[in-house]
């Protein structure tokens, strides 16, 4: 049991909140302390807008076990697993000593920590350099880990949620964060799988059913079902295709130098993206023309999103503030422990250093563009006008 005044944290997207998320929040809350969600904003890791906006998802989190919802800023929320995890761990650690809960296909926290430690070692770097150069990074990484720790480490890195769990553990070790990692067995569908009668549907399957207008009752928490149905009827379900021409227009207007300034480049990707931007007549065509066997589709989607949203190198090393989207009374009491500046209202931004203000302005611009991702366009400026959400504990 955690000692008094600790908390449990979950790094999440909730795109949208499903039964697996609710189970994870329940397990996190079982320790008796407040539950903190470090949640992505309006754009997520898959290189797309979240179906429900961040304020709607905050209300869902608070009605399903969370006490505090903190926004994971844009450049961490839209990044690969390593930066995504590091941003969430950094924000959780700003609140002091607690536990970090996460779902994993391999719920062996000890193995995940051992794998994380190996990945941070010089022995791993050497094994990675010696792995076959013709393979993609993920395959080379698995082989190098297996060389050090055996086949179970390779299995861990081959599963999406277990791999993300390893990244949480890496961040905890690297930052010396006062967080205890706790892996929970992931139930039901895996990432981007349709799901089955044996467990909860994945978020991607819930999104598909929502857009098809199929009934969701019983397949997702009723609060999620109600929020999705309301958003669908009101034309507020954000979808990437609604931004397609805007994104293609942005890509076509970019120079080679603009592409060279994007984060996470390697393998000559800036040149491939530039050529693709001149040929592609759809986003899928742009992705296909850019990717190769060493570069994943997901990474290309994120690069295209970076281009659209104006993300450029150098990215900030760590989140410069703790932005609260919503809380219960119990969650609010945690904020006095924060080692980072706390942002509750947009006026709080004016007290921050210029670089932190720039991070917020970038978030606000991205959210203005997010407003165009819905069938019914939404107004801009919501980061400055949307009220702080507070509910009774």
Tens-place pLDDT, residues 29-75? 998 999 999 999 999 999 999 999 999 999 999 999 999 999 999 99
Per-residue pLDDT, averaged over 189-195, amounts to: 48
Give the chain's radius of gyration (CA, Å).
20
Tell me the pLDDT band of 164, cut-offs 50, 70 and 90. very high
* Multiple choice CATH, 7-105+182-234+318-388, 3.30.160, 1.10.540, 3.30.70, 3.40.50: 3.40.50
Give backbone dihedrals phi and psi of 184, rounded to 5 degrees, phi first: -115, 135
**What pLDDT, on the 0 to 100 scale, is given for residue 135?**
81
Annotated domain spans of the chain: 7-105+182-234+318-388, 119-158, 240-309
In percent, the amount of the chain with pLDDT more than 70 equals: 95
The DSSP element (H or E) to which 23 belongs, if any, is helix 19-29
pLDDT digits (tens, 9 = 90+) for 317-364: 999 999 999 999 999 999 999 999 999 998 999 999 999 999 999 999
The chain-wide mean pLDDT, for the chain, equals 93
Q: How many CB atoms lie within 10 A of CB 188?
A: 19
Per-residue pLDDT, averaged over 231-256, amounts to: 97
Higher pLDDT, 197 or 20: 20
Per-residue pLDDT, averaged over 161-183, amounts to: 97
Say whether 299 sits in a helix, a strand or coil: helix
Parallel, antiparallel, or unpaired for β 43-44 and 48-49?
antiparallel
**What pLDDT, on the 0 to 100 scale, is given for residue 188?**
56
Residue 245 has pLDDT above 70, yes or no: yes
In percent, the amount of the chain with pLDDT more than 90 equals: 88
In this structure, the dihedral spanned by the alpha carbons of residues 159, 164, 169 and 170, taken in order and rounded to 10 degrees, is 100
Report how far residue 224's alpha carbon sits from residue 6's, in angstroms, rounded to the nearest whole number. 29
pLDDT digits (tens, 9 = 90+) for 115-127: 999 999 999 999 9
Residue 187 has pLDDT above 80, yes or no: no
Tokens of 313: 């190198």
Per the confidence metrics, is the pTM higher than 0.85?
A: yes
Residue 1 has pLDDT above 50, yes or no: no
**What pLDDT, on the 0 to 100 scale, is given for residue 266?**
86
Report how far residue 40's alpha carbon sits from residue 64's, in angstroms, rounded to the nearest whole number. 17
**What pLDDT, on the 0 to 100 scale, is given for residue 393?**
57
Burial class (CB in 10 A: 0-12, 13-18, 19+), 90: buried
Looking up tokens 């979240």, which residue turns up? 50
**What pLDDT, on the 0 to 100 scale, is given for residue 122?**
96
């Amino acid at each position: 049991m955690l000692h008094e005044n600790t908390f449990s944290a979950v790094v999440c997207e909730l795109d949208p909140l499903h039964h697996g998320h609710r189970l994870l929040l329940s397990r996190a809350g079982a320790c008796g302390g407040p539950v903190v969600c470090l949640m992505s904003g309006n754009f997520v890791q898959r290189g797309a807008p979240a179906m429900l906006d961040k304020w709607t998802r905050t209300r869902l989190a608070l009605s399903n076990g969370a006490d505090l919802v903190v926004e994971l800023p844009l450049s961490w929320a839209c990044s690969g697993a390593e930066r995504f995890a590091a941003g969430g761990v950094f924000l959780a650690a700003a609140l002091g000593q607690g536990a970090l809960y996460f779902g994993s296909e391999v719920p062996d926290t000890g193995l995940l920590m051992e794998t994380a430690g190996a990945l941070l070692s010089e022995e791993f770097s050497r094994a990675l350099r010696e792995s076959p150069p013709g393979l993609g990074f993920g395959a080379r990484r698995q082989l190098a880990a297996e060389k050090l720790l055996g086949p179970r480490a390779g299995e861990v890195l081959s599963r999406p949620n277990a791999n993300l769990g390893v990244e949480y553990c890496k961040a905890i070790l690297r930052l010396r964060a006062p967080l205890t990692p706790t892996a929970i067995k992931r139930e039901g569908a895996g990432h981007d799988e349709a799901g089955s009668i044996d467990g909860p549907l994945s978020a991607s399957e819930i999104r598909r059913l929502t857009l098809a207008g199929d009934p969701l009752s019983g397949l997702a928490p009723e609060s999620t079902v109600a929020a999705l149905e309301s958003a669908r009827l009101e034309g507020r379900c954000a979808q990437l295709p609604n931004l397609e021409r805007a994104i293609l227009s942005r890509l076509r207007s970019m120079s080679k130098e603009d592409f060279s300034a994007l984060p996470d480049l390697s393998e000559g990707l800036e040149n491939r993206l530039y050529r693709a931007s001149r040929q592609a007549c759809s986003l899928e065509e742009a992705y296909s023309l850019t990717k190769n066997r060493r570069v994943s589709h997901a990474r290309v989607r994120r690069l295209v999103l970076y281009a659209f949203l104006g993300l450029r190198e150098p990215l900030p090393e760590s989140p410069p503030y703790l932005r609260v989207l919503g809380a219960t009374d119990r969650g609010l009491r945690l904020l006095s422990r924060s080692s980072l500046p706390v942002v509750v209202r947009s006026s709080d931004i004016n007290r921050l250093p210029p670089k932190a203000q720039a991070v917020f302005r970038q978030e606000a611009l991205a959210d203005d563009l997010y407003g165009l991702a819905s069938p019914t366009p939404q107004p801009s400026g919501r980061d400055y006008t949307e009220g702080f959400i507070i509910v009774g504990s």
